[in-house]
Structure 1
Amino acid sequence: MVIGNKIKTYRQVRGFSQEELAKKVYVSRQTVSNWETNKRYPDIQNILLLSVLFDVSVDELVKGDLEAMKEKLSNRKVNAAMSVYTYMMLIATLLGAISMGLVVYFENEPIVILIPIICFSVMFFSSIKIERLKNRQDLKTFAEIMAFTEGKDVEAQRKKRNRSHDAMEKAMIVGGFAGIVLVMTLISVLVFAVLK
């Protein structure tokens, strides 16, 4: 990615410190530093602010990065890793829910409790890995920028980034997922209790 060098160059040409630039675009100095070192990519709103502030086009700021963005968005390795972790999470959850019935069935064997603990640990590990992959790749930011440069609906992409919307969506997914796991666990416990 080349935007970091461009931000730093334009900032220095305009005579801004990182702190001054941060105040002008309503972010922290650390955020500006992360942009300049290519640790994070500015979102489309910040790119628009930077283009106005530096008096350059958005295309000029992101030129050279668009192909890399397209590549990351379609990166088979990242997509494959996300798929693997998703499947791991789902299988571990299913096995964890079913294994709760085993805990009831083998109530005199305390070691059996390790099975659901291990399964649910794998589930949490996998979900964390998925989120880190998404964040590390700046996938939402790249999708927004690609939509903007291609003249598509950026607002549709922005809605995916909206923190309150994200929190609500995640809460609904987690709640629904927890409900399904709870039902599966209850069924497993009932089946194994009957078999006992």
Structure 2
Amino acid sequence: MEVGKNIKSYRQQFNLSQEGLAEKIYVTRQTISNWETEKSYPDVHSLVLLSHCFKVSLAQLIEGDLDKMKKIVKKEDIDLMDCYTKKMMWAMLALLFTVFPAFYYLDWWGMLVYLPLAAFGIYYAHKVEKIKDNYDLKTYRQILAFSQGKTLDDLETRIEKAKYPYQKPLIVLGFILAFAVLASLLALIYVRFLP
């Protein structure tokens, strides 16, 4: 992280030893050493004291770290959304391939197969929607840009928001139709080839 380098640089500009700086901000010399060698990160109170001591803004003190932190958070959210989407899709595929045989062989006991798979799929679909809500992702293009770690500029965002009222219903309708067609085909195959 850049803050360790910045602390060391500002400390040297002010001709302060690690011990001298430690006394000014009420920490130990070892703590200063740990910050400068990036073994630990200063808490908010210490960052404020450091910025006053060096007569710089917090933004200057943590310069470089803020962008890295944003990218780390965003990367984690991208990975989470990818993971949740895969789990949701696996649940949907499992439903697609197991529901008809479950009801065919188990009658209404097939609900014991259907309900957990449906709950699993709904749970992860909800998780995906929460991430989409956090980043205000409404259209396919916004989701695609997010998954690539990019954002749309203001004009592109306005254009995409104009598409939203008709794009989401079309995506949902397309998904339902594709699922229904696949389920019907699988049902025909099961009926044709199962005893």
Q: Normalised by the size of structure 2, how large is the TM-score?
A: 0.50
Distance 1:183 1:73 in 2: 41
Partner of 1:87: 86
Call closer, same or farther: CA 1:166–1:123 in 2, change over 3 Å. farther
> Which ranges in structure 1 are unaligned for 5 or more consecutive residues?
1-63, 144-151
1:158 aligns with 2:163: no
Q: How many residues align?
A: 118
Which letter maps to 1:158?
A: R
Q: For the aligned residues, what is the CA RMSD?
A: 3.1
| Shift of residue 83, structure 1, vs aligned partner | 0.3
Deviations 1:101-120 (A, max 9, x none): 21343154x22223222222
Deviations 1:127-185 (A, max 9, x none): 22112112224568xx9xxxxxxxx85221122334xx323211111111111111121
Which structure is larger by alpha-carbon Rg, 1 or 2? 2
Partner of 1:40: none
Give 1:177-196 correspondences, 5 Å limit: 177-194=175-192, 195-196=194-195
Over the matched positions of the two proteins, sequence identity in percent amounts to: 21
Whether the aligned pair in 1 keeps the contact of 2:103 and 2:111 (CA below 8 Å) is no
Call closer, same or farther: CA 1:188–1:139 in 2, change over 3 Å. closer
| Shift of residue 69, structure 1, vs aligned partner | 10
Whether the aligned pair in 1 keeps the contact of 2:84 and 2:128 (CA below 8 Å) is yes
Whether the aligned pair in 2 keeps the contact of 1:96 and 1:117 (CA below 8 Å) is no
Partner secondary structure for residue 76 of structure 2: helix
Which letter maps to 1:77?
A: E
Whether the aligned pair in 2 keeps the contact of 1:102 and 1:192 (CA below 8 Å) is yes
Partner of 1:120: 118
Question: RCO (CA 8 Å, sep 6+): is it higher in 1 or 2?
Answer: 1
Whether the aligned pair in 2 keeps the contact of 1:103 and 1:112 (CA below 8 Å) is yes
Which letter maps to 2:184?
A: L
Distance 1:190 1:107 in 2: 18
Call closer, same or farther: CA 1:134–1:120 in 2, change over 3 Å. same
Partner of 1:46: none
Give 1:20-169 correspondences, 5 Å limit: 71=70, 75-108=74-107, 110-138=108-136, 153-162=153-162, 165-169=163-167
Which letter maps to 1:128?
A: H
Distance 1:166 1:73 in 2: 29
Which letter maps to 2:78?
A: N
